[in-house]
């Protein structure tokens, strides 16, 4: 049996809601509405299946306490096909993974059609609804806000400062499109990781929480490594720049020691002014601020893990003027490079 095969009770509830849908004379039944709109059907289903967590916790605002047992950070939840598309918000992150079939996801003002293999990450407090009037199999991975920030964003900050800035701005900062949509094909590597994570979440064997955390970290890393190119941007007025944005950010990350704005503009065939505007809109920083943040993060890392002299570190991260490097480092960390290195070593002992 596949780890994500639908249990018998799950299929029974789906069959009930399929009947509700087919019996409804309301032409708008399959469109997103508030909980009140579908309350009659929901309460009728609750009477039939009083032990269903999905039905009991159905509401317009879903808190972490609704789905997360104490000391649990990740929950696997299979979406009910034929379930009414109720507008709701959650206090946690929702990762939608299409295991088979397809469905429509409404997030704020966006409508997206997801098919087998697609992955969508929805930020907390984002109004959304799922429309699935078919026998598709949709997996929802629910992750506490604090856990997601430590895992996905934490990994990025440790390895890719510039993408961390971009994703943070996408998922927060009152962004009208608070989601990340990876329009990827079916990926056995990703699905095997999710299967292993699911088994750990239900097995409760020794060290299962630590293993589950590491597996989800692994999932995010493989998602980015294999499907960074499949990230789809919702703003269709900027299609061309959207296609190049991730590659532009990655190019800056990989060439931060020598990259210049004219070089970047020429490489992507944009004017310097346009590059500045694109970067500012999507990361909140100018070209100079982005490069400087990457250089400072790498300098701080080298001060923590190496015994290189400050002059060598300055040169390695792209500064030919040691005095300028020291000034920028102090402005960033409020310590001189030598003071930072000493403080970090004291903290680790």
* pLDDT tens-digit series, residues 112-126: 999 999 999 998 988
Res 71 pLDDT > 80? yes
74 and 209 within one domain: yes
Nearest Cα neighbor of 54 from 76, 24, 28, 29 is 76
* pLDDT tens-digit series, residues 45-66: 989 988 776 766 677 888 888 8
CATH number where 331 lies: 1.10.10.60
| pLDDT reported for residue 53 | 64
* pLDDT tens-digit series, residues 261-291: 999 998 888 899 988 988 888 778 899 999 9
Contact 46, 52 (CB under 8 A): yes
* Band of pLDDT at residue 235, cut at 50, 70 and 90: low
Res 25 pLDDT > 50? yes
Residues 6+ away with beta carbon under 8 Å from 284: 165, 169, 173
* Band of pLDDT at residue 237, cut at 50, 70 and 90: very low
Res 137 pLDDT > 80? yes
261 and 116 within one domain: no
Spatial distance between the Cα atoms of 43 and 60, rounded to a whole number of angstroms: 15
* pLDDT tens-digit series, residues 139-194: 999 999 888 888 877 777 776 666 677 777 777 666 667 888 999 999 999 999 99
Spatial distance between the Cα atoms of 301 and 340, rounded to a whole number of angstroms: 11
Contact 278, 270 (CB under 8 A): yes
Could you tell me the pTM of the whole model? 0.74
Nearest Cα neighbor of 116 from 94, 139, 133 is 139
Q: Is residue 148 part of a domain?
A: yes
244 and 109 within one domain: no
Q: Can you give the residue range of the structural domain that contains 251?
A: 235-284
180 and 44 within one domain: yes
Res 238 pLDDT > 50? no
191 and 123 within one domain: yes
263 and 188 within one domain: no
| pLDDT reported for residue 347 | 82
Q: What percent of the chain has pLDDT over 70?
A: 90
User: Higher-confidence residue: 221 or 234?
Assistant: 221
268 and 329 within one domain: no
Average pLDDT, the chain: 87
- Total tally of structural domains belonging to the chain: 3
| pLDDT reported for residue 240 | 45
User: Higher-confidence residue: 246 or 291?
Assistant: 291
* Band of pLDDT at residue 27, cut at 50, 70 and 90: confident
């Amino acid at each position: 049996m596949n780890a994500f095969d639908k249990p018998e009770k799950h299929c029974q509830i789906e069959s009930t809601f399929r009947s509700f849908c087919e019996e409804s004379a309301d032409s708008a039944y399959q469109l997103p509405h508030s909980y009140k709109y579908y309350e009659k059907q929901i309460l009728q289903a609750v009477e039939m299946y009083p032990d269903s967590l999905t039905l009991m916790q159905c509401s317009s605002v879903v808190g972490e306490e609704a789905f997360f047992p104490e000391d649990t950070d990740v929950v696997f939840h299979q979406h009910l096909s034929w379930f009414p598309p109720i507008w709701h918000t959650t206090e946690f992150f929702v990762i939608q993974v299409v295991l088979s079939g397809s469905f429509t996801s409404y997030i704020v003002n966006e409508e997206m059609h997801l098919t087998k293999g697609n992955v969508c990450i929805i930020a907390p407090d984002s109004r959304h609804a799922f429309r699935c009037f078919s026998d598709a199999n949709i997996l929802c991975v629910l992750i506490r806000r604090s856990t997601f920030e430590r895992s996905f964003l934490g990994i990025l900050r440790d390895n890719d400062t510039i993408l961390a800035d971009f994703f943070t701005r996408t998922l927060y900062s009152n962004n009208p499109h608070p989601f990340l949509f990876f329009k990827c094909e079916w990926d056995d590597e990703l699905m095997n990781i999710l299967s292993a994570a699911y088994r750990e979440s239900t097995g409760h064997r020794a060290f299962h929480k630590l293993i589950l955390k590491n597996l989800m970290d692994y999932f995010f890393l493989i998602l980015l490594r294999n499907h960074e190119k499949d990230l789809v941007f919702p703003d269709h007025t900027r299609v061309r720049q959207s296609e190049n944005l991730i590659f532009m950010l990655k190019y800056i990350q990989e060439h931060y020691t020598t990259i210049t704005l004219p070089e970047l503009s020429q490489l992507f065939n944009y004017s310097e002014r346009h590059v500045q505007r694109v970067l500012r809109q999507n990361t909140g920083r100018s070209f100079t601020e982005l490069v400087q943040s990457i250089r400072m993060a790498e300098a701080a890392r080298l001060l923590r893990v190496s015994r290189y002299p400050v002059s060598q570190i300055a040169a390695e991260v792209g500064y030919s003027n040691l005095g300028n490097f020291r000034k920028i480092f102090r402005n960033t960390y409020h310590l001189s490079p030598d003071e930072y290195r000493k403080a970090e070593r004291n903290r680790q002992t």
